Amino acid sequence: MFTHKTFSAIAGLLLATSLSATYGQEPARYGFGTPVTQEELTKYFSIPADGRGLPAGSGKAADGAKIYADSCAVCHGEKLEGNPAKGIGGDKLIGGRGSLATKTPVKTVESYWPYSTTLFDYVKRAMPFNAPGSLSDNDVYAVVAYILSEAKIIKPTDVMDAKTLPKVAMPNRDGFVPDPRPELDLYH
Protein backbone atom coordinates (compact mmCIF):
# COMPACT_ATOMS: atom_id res chain seq x y z
CA MET A 1 0.00 0.00 0.00
CA PHE A 2 1.37 3.39 -1.04
CA THR A 3 1.84 5.92 1.68
CA HIS A 4 1.77 9.57 0.91
CA LYS A 5 5.50 9.61 1.46
CA THR A 6 6.17 6.82 -1.00
CA PHE A 7 4.00 8.50 -3.62
CA SER A 8 5.93 11.77 -3.26
CA ALA A 9 9.20 9.94 -3.60
CA ILE A 10 8.09 8.21 -6.81
CA ALA A 11 6.66 11.42 -8.25
CA GLY A 12 9.91 13.19 -7.43
CA LEU A 13 11.89 10.45 -9.12
CA LEU A 14 9.72 10.67 -12.25
CA LEU A 15 10.12 14.46 -12.36
CA ALA A 16 13.88 14.16 -12.09
CA THR A 17 13.92 11.60 -14.89
CA SER A 18 11.87 13.77 -17.23
CA LEU A 19 14.08 16.80 -16.58
CA SER A 20 17.21 14.92 -17.40
CA ALA A 21 15.78 13.37 -20.60
CA THR A 22 17.26 14.60 -23.86
CA TYR A 23 14.18 14.23 -26.05
CA GLY A 24 11.56 16.90 -26.76
CA GLN A 25 13.93 19.83 -26.51
CA GLU A 26 14.11 22.80 -28.85
CA PRO A 27 17.47 24.56 -29.14
CA ALA A 28 17.48 28.36 -28.91
CA ARG A 29 18.89 28.34 -32.45
CA TYR A 30 18.99 25.42 -34.84
CA GLY A 31 22.09 26.84 -36.44
CA PHE A 32 21.35 25.44 -39.91
CA GLY A 33 22.51 27.28 -43.00
CA THR A 34 25.68 29.24 -43.62
CA PRO A 35 26.41 32.94 -43.11
CA VAL A 36 26.29 35.02 -46.27
CA THR A 37 29.16 37.34 -47.14
CA GLN A 38 28.70 40.87 -48.51
CA GLU A 39 30.54 39.61 -51.59
CA GLU A 40 27.79 37.03 -52.26
CA LEU A 41 25.09 39.67 -51.87
CA THR A 42 26.46 41.95 -54.58
CA LYS A 43 24.68 40.03 -57.35
CA TYR A 44 21.27 40.82 -55.81
CA PHE A 45 19.42 44.12 -55.78
CA SER A 46 16.03 45.67 -55.18
CA ILE A 47 15.76 49.39 -55.21
CA PRO A 48 13.17 51.23 -53.13
CA ALA A 49 11.93 54.73 -53.94
CA ASP A 50 14.74 56.46 -52.07
CA GLY A 51 17.26 54.91 -54.44
CA ARG A 52 19.01 52.78 -51.80
CA GLY A 53 21.17 50.25 -53.61
CA LEU A 54 21.31 52.04 -56.96
CA PRO A 55 24.60 51.04 -58.60
CA ALA A 56 27.40 53.31 -59.81
CA GLY A 57 27.25 54.44 -63.41
CA SER A 58 25.13 56.87 -65.40
CA GLY A 59 23.38 57.37 -68.72
CA LYS A 60 21.44 59.82 -70.79
CA ALA A 61 18.68 59.77 -73.35
CA ALA A 62 20.86 60.00 -76.47
CA ASP A 63 22.70 56.78 -75.56
CA GLY A 64 19.48 55.21 -74.37
CA ALA A 65 17.85 55.78 -77.77
CA LYS A 66 20.36 53.44 -79.43
CA ILE A 67 19.99 50.74 -76.81
CA TYR A 68 16.23 51.09 -77.00
CA ALA A 69 16.24 50.66 -80.77
CA ASP A 70 18.41 47.55 -80.50
CA SER A 71 16.91 45.82 -77.47
CA CYS A 72 13.47 47.23 -76.70
CA ALA A 73 11.72 48.56 -79.82
CA VAL A 74 10.76 45.13 -81.18
CA CYS A 75 8.34 44.62 -78.27
CA HIS A 76 7.58 48.16 -77.11
CA GLY A 77 7.40 49.86 -80.53
CA GLU A 78 9.69 52.37 -82.20
CA LYS A 79 7.74 55.19 -80.64
CA LEU A 80 7.25 53.43 -77.28
CA GLU A 81 3.66 52.83 -78.29
CA GLY A 82 3.65 49.12 -77.37
CA ASN A 83 3.17 46.08 -79.60
CA PRO A 84 0.15 43.85 -79.00
CA ALA A 85 1.12 41.40 -81.78
CA LYS A 86 0.90 37.65 -81.16
CA GLY A 87 4.06 36.30 -79.56
CA ILE A 88 5.09 39.76 -78.36
CA GLY A 89 2.56 41.70 -76.29
CA GLY A 90 4.85 44.53 -75.14
CA ASP A 91 3.32 47.29 -73.01
CA LYS A 92 2.92 50.87 -74.20
CA LEU A 93 5.44 52.96 -72.26
CA ILE A 94 4.44 56.59 -72.75
CA GLY A 95 1.31 58.71 -73.12
CA GLY A 96 -1.96 58.55 -71.24
CA ARG A 97 -1.40 61.50 -68.91
CA GLY A 98 -4.70 62.79 -67.61
CA SER A 99 -6.55 59.64 -68.69
CA LEU A 100 -6.68 57.77 -65.39
CA ALA A 101 -10.00 59.21 -64.23
CA THR A 102 -11.69 58.71 -67.62
CA LYS A 103 -13.61 55.75 -69.04
CA THR A 104 -10.51 54.83 -71.08
CA PRO A 105 -7.53 55.03 -68.75
CA VAL A 106 -4.15 54.39 -70.36
CA LYS A 107 -1.62 53.08 -67.85
CA THR A 108 1.99 53.71 -68.87
CA VAL A 109 5.29 54.57 -67.21
CA GLU A 110 4.43 58.19 -67.97
CA SER A 111 0.85 58.22 -66.74
CA TYR A 112 0.79 55.61 -63.98
CA TRP A 113 4.16 54.54 -62.55
CA PRO A 114 4.75 56.43 -59.28
CA TYR A 115 8.52 55.94 -58.96
CA SER A 116 11.39 56.21 -61.46
CA THR A 117 13.39 53.77 -59.33
CA THR A 118 10.85 51.05 -60.16
CA LEU A 119 11.63 51.50 -63.85
CA PHE A 120 15.37 51.10 -63.22
CA ASP A 121 14.84 48.06 -60.98
CA TYR A 122 12.51 46.36 -63.46
CA VAL A 123 14.61 46.97 -66.59
CA LYS A 124 17.78 45.76 -64.84
CA ARG A 125 15.89 42.77 -63.41
CA ALA A 126 13.75 41.42 -66.19
CA MET A 127 14.40 43.21 -69.46
CA PRO A 128 14.90 42.74 -72.36
CA PHE A 129 12.28 39.99 -72.21
CA ASN A 130 14.32 37.56 -74.34
CA ALA A 131 17.60 38.28 -72.51
CA PRO A 132 16.72 39.38 -68.98
CA GLY A 133 19.45 40.98 -66.91
CA SER A 134 21.78 41.41 -69.89
CA LEU A 135 22.10 45.21 -69.89
CA SER A 136 24.99 46.92 -68.10
CA ASP A 137 24.17 49.42 -65.36
CA ASN A 138 25.16 52.28 -67.69
CA ASP A 139 22.83 50.87 -70.35
CA VAL A 140 19.97 50.64 -67.86
CA TYR A 141 20.49 54.24 -66.72
CA ALA A 142 20.55 55.32 -70.39
CA VAL A 143 17.38 53.42 -71.39
CA VAL A 144 15.57 54.73 -68.32
CA ALA A 145 16.71 58.27 -69.22
CA TYR A 146 15.43 57.75 -72.79
CA ILE A 147 11.98 56.55 -71.67
CA LEU A 148 11.62 59.35 -69.09
CA SER A 149 12.79 61.89 -71.66
CA GLU A 150 10.36 60.64 -74.35
CA ALA A 151 7.66 60.88 -71.67
CA LYS A 152 8.72 64.50 -71.14
CA ILE A 153 9.31 63.83 -67.45
CA ILE A 154 13.01 64.80 -67.68
CA LYS A 155 14.96 66.88 -70.20
CA PRO A 156 16.79 65.06 -73.01
CA THR A 157 20.10 66.31 -71.60
CA ASP A 158 19.50 65.15 -68.01
CA VAL A 159 21.97 62.56 -66.76
CA MET A 160 20.50 59.69 -64.76
CA ASP A 161 22.59 58.21 -61.96
CA ALA A 162 22.23 57.05 -58.36
CA LYS A 163 21.76 60.65 -57.19
CA THR A 164 19.49 62.12 -59.87
CA LEU A 165 17.16 59.18 -60.60
CA PRO A 166 15.36 59.03 -57.22
CA LYS A 167 14.68 62.77 -57.48
CA VAL A 168 12.73 62.50 -60.74
CA ALA A 169 9.18 63.71 -60.11
CA MET A 170 6.83 61.16 -61.67
CA PRO A 171 3.46 62.61 -62.75
CA ASN A 172 1.40 60.02 -60.84
CA ARG A 173 3.58 60.05 -57.70
CA ASP A 174 0.55 60.80 -55.50
CA GLY A 175 -1.89 58.62 -57.39
CA PHE A 176 -2.01 55.75 -54.89
CA VAL A 177 -3.98 55.18 -51.70
CA PRO A 178 -3.67 52.36 -49.15
CA ASP A 179 -6.12 49.47 -49.48
CA PRO A 180 -9.18 50.37 -47.35
CA ARG A 181 -10.88 46.98 -47.55
CA PRO A 182 -13.09 45.65 -46.14
CA GLU A 183 -15.09 48.39 -47.79
CA LEU A 184 -17.28 50.23 -45.30
CA ASP A 185 -19.95 50.77 -47.97
CA LEU A 186 -20.67 47.04 -47.76
CA TYR A 187 -21.72 47.47 -44.13
CA HIS A 188 -24.17 50.34 -44.71
Partner 1 sequence: MKRRENVFYNEKAQRLAEEMILAEKRHIAERRSEAEGCDCKEGMFPRGNTTNRRRFIFAAGSLAGAFASAAYAQDKKAPPGAVHFDVPADPTKEQGRAVAADGGYGSRSQFETEVRWRFPTANEYTSWSMTPLDKMLGNLTPSGLHFERHHGGIPTIDPSKHTLIVHGMVGTAKKYTMADLKRFPSVTRKYFIECSGNGLTEWNKPTLKTVQGTHGLLSTSEWTGVQFSTIAREVGLKDGSAWVLAEGADAAVMTRSIPMEKMLKDALIVYGQNGEAIRPEQGYPLRLVLPGYEGNTHIKWLRRLEVSDKPFMTREETSKYTDLLASGKARQFSFDMEAKSVITFPSGEMKLPGAGFYNIQGFAWSGRGRVQSVDVSVDGGKNWYPARLESTPEPICTVRFSYPWMWDGKAAILQSRCTDETGYVQPTLKQLVAIRGSNGPYGSIYHLNAIQSWAVSETGDVSNVHA
Q: Smallest gap, in angstroms, from Cβ of residue 184 to partner 1?
A: 9
Cis ω before 128 (30° cut-off from 0) = yes
For residues 128 and 151, give the distance between their C-alpha atoms in angstroms, rounded to a whole number. Answer: 20
Where in 54-93 is the site for partner 1 (CB under 8 A)? 82, 84-89
Per CB under 8 A, the list member of 79, 125, 152, 163 interacting with partner 1 is 125
Q: Which range binds partner 1 by CB under 8 A, 14-22, 58-66, 112-120, 142-150?
A: 112-120
Kindly tell me the sign of the dihedral angle through the C-alpha atoms of 132, 158, 118, 44. positive
**Is residue 24 within the footprint of partner 1 (CB under 8 A)?**
no
Binder among 73, 74, 106, 159 for partner 1 (CB under 8 A): 106
- Is-contact 49 115, C-beta < 8 A? yes
Q: Which residues, 6 or more positions from 113, have their beta carbon under 8 angstroms from its beta carbon?
A: 119, 170, 172
Secondary structure (3-state) at 77? coil
* Residue 173 interacting with partner 1 (CB under 8 A): no
Our CB check for partner 1 shows the closer of 4 and 188 to be 188
- Report the residue from 14, 40, 69, 152 that binds partner 1 according to the rule CB under 8 A: 40
Ramachandran assignment for 51, one of left (phi > 0), alpha (psi -120 to 50 degrees), beta (any other)? left
3-state secondary structure of 59: strand
| Residue in 23, 32, 56, 169 binding partner 1, rule: CB under 8 A | 32
Separation between Cα atoms, residue 156 and residue 170, nearest integer Å: 16
For partner 1, which stretch binds (CB under 8 A), given 8-16, 66-74, 126-134, 157-165?
Answer: 126-134
Residues 44 and 120: beta-carbon distance below 8 Å:
no
Size of the site for partner 1 (CB under 8 A): 56
Does 36 participate in binding partner 1 (rule CB under 8 A)?
A: yes
Contacting positions for partner 1 (CB under 8 A): 29-36, 40-41, 44, 46-50, 82, 84-89, 100-107, 109, 112-115, 117-118, 121-122, 125-126, 129, 132-133, 175-183, 185-186
